[in-house]
């Protein structure tokens, strides 16, 4: 098991102790011996110290195919007052029934061990995707076993795994802030343990500091500012090329809020916070009468620009689906209220490839001529794409879109809760499969990306305008739902 930015204070192997001639050559020889041991010994053991910033831990030799007949144990320890949080970024283990062959085991004090194996494993855990594992105490043991192949069996190459581990405060899964008393000070200062730049400390209420030196809220309960997700600031921002036409492939991290949904077909969405997906209502309740079945499964995938990689990372189970009450499924020409929220069962771990988008707060973000981006996994040139694509489109004058609809003798409702984008004389690159994805603009005042629109409806995939749900009209509703008040 290899790790980065951690310490390896002790190594136990079945290959014997450090030879005397190596010990006398000092630190360089020890490092060479350690490297050789990690690559040749069938059993390895190491200890890593978790820090507040994420660090990587991998199976031996990753990303090269791992060798058969080896076993490794890694103990990950957190400082006092913290626990270990582990999230798999890549998981490629040879499948085996019941994890009898190759496997990864996660064990922590006082709980049963969790077994993970290949994608086709039966009854036990399978590919973990972005699932979060948190230790019950200060330490967590990660065991990797690669069975020895039988003589008659053909073995396949598998990379193993890549995971991120970090120390997080006991009472806050995404980091925390704690009050630390400074000698001679009247009030404690706030020590920030939030994972920058993905989370920031924020007071969720009005706090005061009484003479006892403890931060308290209005209900006189001991509190400290909480860690909240940072929205609309990609670690790998898109290179903004002025007025480029057509669609372009997105790089990993350009649109980290992008969701890929599978309900009645493929669709899109955007991450809000670390637990909600903003999407279009018609992806859940389509206008087409063919799709009137109830209780259709809702699958959500996050964290990549490639569909195959998204499927490998795994579906994020949905706890609740909330469709806006103004949406009318049976009115085929009326997409008013075409907005919905999906609450995930578990908060997702934020990182460079997975970050939320911000919500709009003013009308200036809808001025005619303002350029924005729309991304999605929809149809391109008649084919379903396997890569995330994006297009740069201007907010269009409302009068131009109304005249265009009238010219084409269309009867669709174009309400004040919608806006249009694009150009009458250019190909609209938004198409089937992009529904539910968001249109984003850069807010120069707050310096972050804002989801002003949701891909809602259009007239084919040819030249002309596309029509979007105006998110600003529904911000109050969104906040009430996310706060559990609606």
**Closest by alpha carbon to 441, among 472, 414, 415?**
472
193, 282, 304, 324: the active-site residue: 282
248, 435, 437, 473: the active-site residue: 435
**Closest by alpha carbon to 265, among 44, 397, 450, 436?**
436
Close Cβ partners of 233 (under 8 Å, ≥ 6 residues apart): 197, 355, 447, 448, 449
Q: Would you call 156 a catalytic residue per the annotation?
A: no
Could you give the CA distance from residue 413 to residue 109 in angstroms, rounded to a whole number? Answer: 59
Q: Is the dihedral of CA 209, 211, 212, 217 positive or negative?
A: negative
Report DSSP letters for 30-55, one per residue. HHHHHHHHHHH-SEEEEEEE--SS-E
Q: Would you call 435 a catalytic residue per the annotation?
A: yes
Could you give the CA distance from residue 357 to residue 375 in angstroms, rounded to a whole number? Answer: 13
Do 258 and 266 meet the contact criterion of CB atoms below 8 Å apart? Answer: no
Q: How many CB atoms lie within 10 A of CB 151?
A: 5
Strands across the sheet containing 318-323 = 299-302, 258-262, 266-272, 276-279, 340-344, 318-323
Report DSSP letters for 227-259, one per residue. EEE--S--SS-----TT--SEEEPPTTSSTTEE
75, 102, 338, 443: the active-site residue: 338
Residues recognised as catalytic: 282, 338, 435
């Amino acid at each position: 098991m290899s790790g980065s930015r951690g310490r390896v204070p002790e190594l136990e192997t079945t290959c014997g102790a450090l030879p005397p001639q190596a010990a006398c050559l000092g630190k360089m020889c020890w490092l060479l011996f350690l490297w050789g041991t990690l690559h040749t010994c069938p059993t390895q053991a190491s200890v890593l110290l978790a820090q507040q910033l994420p660090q990587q831990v991998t199976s031996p030799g990753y990303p090269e195919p791992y060798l058969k007949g080896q076993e490794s144990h890694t103990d990950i320890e957190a400082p006092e007052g913290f626990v270990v949080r582990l999230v798999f970024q890549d998981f490629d283990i040879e499948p085996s029934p019941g994890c009898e062959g190759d496997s990864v085991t996660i064990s922590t004090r006082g709980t049963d061990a969790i077994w993970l194996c290949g994608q086709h494993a039966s009854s036990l855990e399978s590919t973990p995707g972005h699932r979060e594992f948190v230790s019950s105490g200060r330490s967590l043991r990660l065991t990797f076993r690669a069975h020895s192949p039988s003589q008659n069996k053909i073995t396949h190459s598998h990379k193993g795994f890549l995971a991120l581990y970090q120390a997080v405060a006991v009472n806050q899964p995404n980091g925390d802030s704690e009050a630390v008393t400074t000698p001679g000070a009247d009030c404690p200062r706030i020590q920030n343990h939030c994972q920058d730049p993905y989370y920031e400390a924020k007071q969720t209420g009005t706090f005061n500091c009484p003479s006892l030196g403890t931060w308290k809220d209005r209900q006189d309960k001991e509190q400290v500012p909480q860690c909240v997700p940072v929205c609309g600031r990609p670690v790998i921002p898109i290179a903004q090329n002025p007025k480029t036409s057509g669609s372009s492939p997105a790089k990993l991290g350009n649109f980290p809020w992008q969701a890929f949904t599978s309900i009645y077909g493929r669709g899109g969405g955007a991450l809000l916070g670390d637990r909600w997906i903003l999407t279009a209502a018609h992806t859940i309740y389509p206008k087409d009468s063919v799709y009137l079945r109830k209780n259709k499964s809702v699958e959500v995938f996050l964290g990549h620009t490639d569909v195959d990689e998204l499927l490998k990372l795994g579906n994020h189970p949905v706890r609740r689906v909330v469709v806006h009450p103004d949406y009318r499924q049976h009115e085929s020409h009326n997409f008013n209220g075409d907005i919905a929220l999906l609450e995930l069962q578990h908060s997702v771990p934020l990182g460079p490839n997975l970050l939320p988008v911000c919500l709009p707060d003013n009308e200036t973000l809808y001025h005619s001529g303002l350029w924005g981006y729309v991304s999605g996994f929809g149809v391109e040139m008649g084919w379903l794409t396997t890569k995330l694509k994006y297009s740069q489109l201007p907010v269009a004058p409302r009068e131009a879109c109304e005249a265009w609809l009238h010219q084409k003798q269309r009867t669709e409702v174009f309400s004040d809760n919608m806006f249009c984008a694009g150009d009458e004389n250019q190909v609209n690159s938004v198409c089937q499969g992009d529904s539910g994805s968001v249109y984003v603009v850069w807010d120069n005042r707050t310096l972050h990306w804002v989801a002003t629109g949701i891909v809602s409806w259009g007239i084919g995939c040819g030249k002309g305008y596309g029509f979007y749900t105006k998110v600003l009209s529904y911000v109050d509703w969104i906040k009430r739902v996310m706060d559990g008040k609606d």
